Amino acid sequence: MRQNNSTTRLVVLASLLVAMVLRIVPLPMELFVYNPDWVLLFLIYWAIAIPERVGIGYAWVMGLLSDVLTGRLLGQHALAYSVVVFVCVKLHTRLRSYSLYQQVLGVLLLLLVNQVLVFWAQNIKSSNSLGFIDWLPSFIGALVWPFILKVLRWVRRTYHIV
Amino acid sequence: MKPLFTKRPSPNIGLIVFVFASLVLLACEQQALLNPFREMLASVVYPLQQLVSSPTQAVRKFGETFSSRIELLAENEELRREQLLQSAKLTKFAALEQENLRLRGLLDTSFKLGEQVMIAELLAVNLVPYEQVVVVNKGSRFGVYPGQLVMDAHGVVGQVLRVNSLSSEIILITDPNHAIPVQVNRNGLRTIAQGTGQVDRLSLPFLSSNADIQAGDLLVTSGLGGVFPQGYPVATVVAVSGTDNAFAKFAAAPVAKLDLNRELLLVWNKPDPIPRVPDLGSIPKESAGSHAAK
């Protein structure tokens, strides 16, 4: 079993290395525009196939390496990959049972989510507005949640809204 | 056959932890707190970049080894002729430089001169399609620093964006996020040249329609902004359109061969200006006196 574990890890890591090579392979510019995010595609496969082995931790580390590999801010791909792989791990039974064309659509959706997140983080860089204070509304919102829950539950029960 | 529901992973906490960690990293990178960490990751990635780049380099080496003798002779001849021309120009330039320094000394303006260069080789890797950033094989171990001027034999190529220990990323002047302060060499008109994302095109958005600029004008760095030293050729104006109405458009083509280069020059711009008056004895007494009187 131990042997099996280490082989699995080796194979997964080797495949991800191949994906990273494909990511930066020197195609001519016209073709390079079409070069997809191989690292994420490989991660999605492993996350659906063996979700108990390849999870968000893998995704996060691979994201950091992709950030450095493609010259992004640290954390852009890490963030996007974690979210996408989380969805894959969560829904892996469903995704496995999809027919091929449904899987294609699912993967398309995941890749788009990834790209939106990466672009979003990129724009934060240019607008230079990611201070800690900018995140405070979310934190305060989370702190306020228990009160909202209590109050609105009281309102609902008072007026017998079922 | 594996049972389906024995080891269901519970990734919820993981997601929160990792998303939070990513956000913290993003926030920290704004203040450039994580350079050592980044360099560590970069040293993991560097062998990969070398690996990807090696076939291209091998093909080039192969071509060099087996190029025919006649070709080499022709190239040699060409280079020798060029060398002769350049050195003739250079002797004239030396005299002009001295004169320029003397005159600037009289005018009492500071002037930076004397730059050091190093050749860096491009790694054949593509980063992102919508950005024009390239990787070269010289990093902080060679004293490369962010913001450093990068050029080729013809003109300015870009500036150093990010430095790792063995490699560094260079943003080209044609990147859409890049702008470079320039002036028209003919009349000293200053403006800013922005990248367009096309490798052969810069735009000059901040010019009025009656600006004294025409196709063929050479744009050189103006030295404003403090990143690029003054006087390096950047681009030539290629198209001027719509000067009869208020919406004139000016486009320029970089003089550097941005898409053909394999070797780039990293330029060290000495921070302290060299002495303004190099040889006091050679300056007539009365002009030195008037200089003091000012």
List pLDDT tens digits, range A13-67: 999 998 988 888 877 766 777 788 889 999 999 998 888 888 888 899 999 999 8
pTM for this entry: 0.70
Q: Is the four-CA dihedral B122, B125, B129, B133 of positive or negative sign? A: negative
Q: From residue A117, how far is each of A111, A122, B212 by CA, in Å?
A: 10, 9, 45
Give me the percent of chain A exceeding a pLDDT of 70: 90
Q: CA of B43: which chain A residue's CA is closest?
A: A68
Same structural domain, A121 and A147: no
Domain count, chain B: 1
Residue B38's pLDDT band (boundaries 50, 70, 90)? confident
Distance CA A86, CA A89 (A): 5
Q: Which residue has the higher pLDDT, B279 or B220?
A: B220
The nearest CA of chain A is from the CA of B164 a distance in Å of 10
Distance CA B200, CA B215 (A): 15
Residue type at B52 in one-letter notation: V
Phi, psi at B243, each rounded to 5°: -75, -15
B10 within domain boundaries? no
List pLDDT tens digits, range B249-271: 888 999 988 877 778 888 887 55
DSSP assigned state of B81: H
Residue B288's pLDDT band (boundaries 50, 70, 90)? very low
Domain housing A159: 131-162
User: Taking 90 as the threshold, does the pLDDT of residue B36 lie above it?
Assistant: no
Mean pLDDT computed over every residue of chain A:
83
> If contacts are CB pairs under 8 Å, which of residues 77-106 in chain A contact chain B?
78-79, 82-83, 86, 89-90, 93
Same structural domain, A140 and A159: yes
User: Taking 70 as the threshold, does the pLDDT of residue B230 lie above it?
Assistant: yes
Residues of chain B in contact with residue A90, where contact means CB-CB under 8 angstroms, are 11
Phi, psi at A150, each rounded to 5°: -60, -50
The nearest CA of chain A is from the CA of B220 a distance in Å of 27
User: Taking 80 as the threshold, does the pLDDT of residue B246 lie above it?
Assistant: no
Determine the pLDDT at residue A78: 92
Residue B289's pLDDT band (boundaries 50, 70, 90)? very low
Whether A113 contacts chain B with CB within 8 A? no
Same structural domain, A20 and A37: yes
B122 within domain boundaries? yes
B59 within domain boundaries? no
Q: CA of A48: which chain B residue's CA is closest?
A: B9
| Facing residue for B127 by CB, picked from A24, A65, A82 | A24
B52 within domain boundaries? no
User: Taking 60 as the threshold, does the pLDDT of residue A159 lie above it?
Assistant: yes
Residue B293's pLDDT band (boundaries 50, 70, 90)? very low
Same structural domain, A83 and A51: yes
User: Taking 80 as the threshold, does the pLDDT of residue B108 lie above it?
Assistant: no
Phi, psi at A102, each rounded to 5°: -65, -35
Provide the token pair at B6. 């024995």
CATH number of the domain encompassing residue B201:
2.40.10.340
Give me the percent of chain A exceeding a pLDDT of 90: 17
B173 within domain boundaries? yes
Determine the pLDDT at residue A162: 73
The nearest CA of chain B is from the CA of A144 a distance in Å of 19
List pLDDT tens digits, range A138-157: 778 888 888 888 888 898 89
Torsion angle, CA of B14/A61/A46/A56, rounded to 10 degrees?
10
Question: Looking at chain B, which runs of residues are DSSP E strands?
Answer: 115-123, 133-136, 149-151, 156-163, 168-172, 179-184, 190-195, 202-203, 218-221, 233-241, 249-254, 263-269
β-strand partners of B191: B182
Residue with tokens 């800013």: B192
Distance CA B47, CA A68 (A): 13
Q: Which residue has the higher pLDDT, A157 or A132?
A: A157
Same structural domain, A77 and A153: no
Mean pLDDT of A97-113: 88
Of the candidate ranges A4-13, A152-161, B100-109, the one whose mean pLDDT is the lowest: B100-109
Whether B58 contacts chain A with CB within 8 A? no
Of A17, A97, A88, A103, whose CA–CA distance to A55 is shortest?
A: A88
Determine the pLDDT at residue B252: 92
User: Taking 60 as the threshold, does the pLDDT of residue A69 lie above it?
Assistant: yes
Beta strands B179-184 and B190-195 are antiparallel
Mean pLDDT computed over every residue of chain B:
79
Mean pLDDT of B206-235: 85
Q: Which residue has the higher pLDDT, B67 or A59?
A: A59
Q: Is the four-CA dihedral B208, B210, B213, B215 of positive or negative sign? A: positive
B39 within domain boundaries? no
Please judge whether A89 and B162 are an interchain contact, meaning their C-beta atoms are less than 8 angstroms apart.
Answer: no
Helix (H, G, I), strand (E, B) or coil at B107: helix
| Facing residue for A56 by CB, picked from B11, B129, B169 | B11
Provide the token pair at B160. 């150093």
Residue B274's pLDDT band (boundaries 50, 70, 90)? very low
Residue with tokens 């990807």: B52
Same structural domain, A53 and A113: yes
Residue A127's pLDDT band (boundaries 50, 70, 90)? low
Determine the pLDDT at residue B243: 67
User: Taking 90 as the threshold, does the pLDDT of residue B285 lie above it?
Assistant: no
Determine the pLDDT at residue B236: 92
Asked whether B111 and B117 are in contact (CB, 8 A), the reply is no
User: Taking 80 as the threshold, does the pLDDT of residue B122 lie above it?
Assistant: yes
Provide the token pair at A154. 């009281």
Distance CA B104, CA B112 (A): 11
Domain count, chain A: 2
Domain housing B176: 69-271
Same structural domain, A11 and A40: yes
Please judge whether A75 and B25 are an interchain contact, meaning their C-beta atoms are less than 8 angstroms apart.
Answer: yes
User: Taking 70 as the threshold, does the pLDDT of residue B281 lie above it?
Assistant: no
User: Taking 50 as the threshold, does the pLDDT of residue B282 lie above it?
Assistant: no
β-strand partners of B218: B236
List pLDDT tens digits, range B75-87: 899 999 999 988 8
Longest CA–CA separation in chain B, Å: 100
φ/ψ bin of A159: left (φ > 0), alpha (ψ from -120 to 50), beta (otherwise): alpha
